[in-house]
Chain A
Amino acid sequence: MSLKRKACIVGIYEHPTRKAPDKTIAQLHAEVAHGALADAGLTHRDIDGYACAGDAPGLGPLAMVDYMNLRVRHMDSTDTGGSSYLIHVAHAAEAIATGKADIVLVTLAGRPRSEGSSGTVPRNFGANAPDVPFELPYHAVTLNQYAMAAKRHMHEYGTTSEQLAWVKVAASHHAQYNEHAMLRDVVTVEDVVNSPMMSDPLHRLDCCVVSDGGGAVVLARPEIARTLNKPVINLLGAGCSIKALNGGKIDLTYTAGRFSGPAAFEEAGVKPADIQYASIYDSFTITVLMQLEDLGFCAKGDGGRFVADGNLISGVGKLPFNTDGGGLCNNHPANRGGMTKIIEAVRQLRGEAHPKVQVANCGLALAHGTGGVISSRHGSATLIMERA
């Protein structure tokens, strides 16, 4: 069965904090839940479904359902890193479409900035993770693994550092209007390529920020959504996939978005050229460029030319992206950027983005996430939404 128009996003909330040493992670989850429910005009007693990922404490839904005192018949703890929340939305829509839930809450929160966690620290998932003995000794970190994907993309397609820099430039043009953004200064291509080299070919300004914070979304069945005060935002299509190392026969020039994107477009019955606004996961500049190719916004290998010359800047280019400043400039709570991708897409569809970056008559938007590591194992998820 299709999910098309079977569920609506009725509540969104992005935590304004960017550094929260005095709050617990459970508290941040509850605060974003509180905000999203207030946005929807609902109470926590209206919820009958809940989802969270590995950023939540303890056993995720068990800890948070207890802490927030929810009563649920749908629960989801799918964890594909930063793209988890888009998958939670897809699963919530499935539950709503099949009558297994009416109103589902999804939360994300974390404090990597306060806790000193970032993409330059190896993530050791323990001796039972089969990849650890074959990656930890080589000091594989998020940063240098994305850098290896960028290096190969440059080798195969002639992508340049200047083209990658345009992704950051576009994000900075949007972030200047976001009072909560960590980096509000507009930067140039020269600023990016002249910033310190972190791990070839990625410079400091090719990287996202590290921030505390979080966000939440609430989904509901369409009959309920129409009784609430906000514009009705329909989910039209969803897709998800995981790509890994294929037993050692590797091709690092594409992501699992090659599979999640077409699935979402097919279910929605629209084409990439129809999309008026796109939230694209931006852990690094290369992440955006490869995902745009994989989603079909341009041909494989043409990402560099596609993002150049301001094509991602709202009001300037053909595909306005990440108008909140994205992970590259605004925030990247819990080192997981998928939630904020959904939130800004909904703002655009509601007409609630900052007036300087709002896409005129935005009726069709896409949110896409890639979690994990682009050059090893990662999960991609794509959502396509419309304003009813």
Chain B
Amino acid sequence: MTTVYQDRTITAPVPTPENQPFFDAAARGELLIKRCLACGEYHHLPRAICPHCFSDCTEWVTASGTGTIYTFSVSRRVLPTPYAIAYVTLDEGISMMTNIVDCDLDALEIGQAVRVVFKPSDGGPPVPMFTPV
């Protein structure tokens, strides 16, 4: 069985002052994550206060943009177009919800290596998604 990925209309994220740099970077084709200057740990979704140690000293860093599929599901009867929702674990060790795109959705596997791509949203900033390498 083959389920070829098809582009769909992506609901636009509405950035807030706290996450605006993330979406500004996405528009440049860059994936940003947060790192804590106190404990050194990465986190996602990006916050002003580190969720691991609660330090208020956090900085934006550019992520490698590569990782592996932690889990996924191909939704076949939610939208007219099948799509693959997933959590991808970045090489930095944190995971983010995303979609897997530009591939045969029936060939996806947990543990598969992926890299970030950016897809346009409907009237908002582009959003990071991932495709098999």
Contact = CB atoms under 8 A, between A and B. Distances in A.
Interface residues of B, number: 46
Contacts of A355: none
Interface string A149-191: 1111001000000000000000000000000000000000000
Interface string A189-228: 0000000111111100000000000000000000000000
Contacts of A150: 73
A250 B87 contact: yes
A211 to B, nearest CB: 20
B95 A144 contact: no
Interface string B64-83: 00000011111111110001
Nearest to B3: A200
A97 interface: no
A145 to B, nearest CB: 8
A147 to B, nearest CB: 4
A120 interface: yes
Contacts of A147: 73, 75
B110 A248 contact: no
A88 B50 CA distance: 32
A245 B110 CA distance: 19
A133 interface: yes
A148 B45 contact: no
Interface string B24-53: 000000000000000001111101001110
Given A247-B41, A252-B87, A140 B97 contact: yes
Contact of A134 (B13, B74, B83, B86): B13
A309 B39 CA distance: 49
B42 to A, nearest CB: 7
A130 interface: yes
Interface of A is mostly: mixed
A200 B98 contact: no
A250 B95 contact: yes
B14 interface: yes
A139 B83 contact: yes
5 shortest A-B CB distances, which residue pairs?
A: A248-B94, A133-B13, A247-B51, A147-B73, A248-B44
B78 A131 contact: no
A46 interface: no
A199 B3 CA distance: 13
> Which of B12, B41, B71, B74 has the most C-beta atoms of chain A within 10 angstroms of its own C-beta?
B71
Interface of B: 8, 10-16, 18-19, 23, 41-45, 47, 50-52, 70-79, 83, 85-87, 89, 93-99, 110, 121, 127, 129
Given A144-B73, A155-B71, A137 B13 contact: yes
A201 B106 CA distance: 12
A148 to B, nearest CB: 4
A271 to B, nearest CB: 32
A149 B16 contact: no
Contacts of A130: 16, 18, 45, 47
17 contacts: A127-B16, A131-B45, A134-B13, A134-B19, A134-B96, A137-B10, A137-B11, A137-B121, A138-B127, A144-B75, A145-B85, A198-B78, A247-B43, A248-B43, A248-B45, A250-B87, A250-B95
A141 B78 contact: yes
> Which of B70, B79, B121 has the most C-beta atoms of chain A within 10 angstroms of its own C-beta?
B70
A136 interface: yes
B94 A249 contact: yes
Interface string A243-269: 001111110100000000000000000
A143 interface: yes
B45 to A, nearest CB: 5
A135 interface: yes
A150 B110 CA distance: 12
A248 B89 CA distance: 9
> Which of B18, B19, B52, B73 has the most C-beta atoms of chain A within 10 angstroms of its own C-beta?
B73
Given A148-B85, A247-B51, A198 B94 contact: no
Contacts of A137: 10-13, 121, 127
Contacts of A376: 97
Contact of A199 (B43, B78, B89, B95): B78
Contacts of B75: 139, 141, 143-144, 147, 198-199
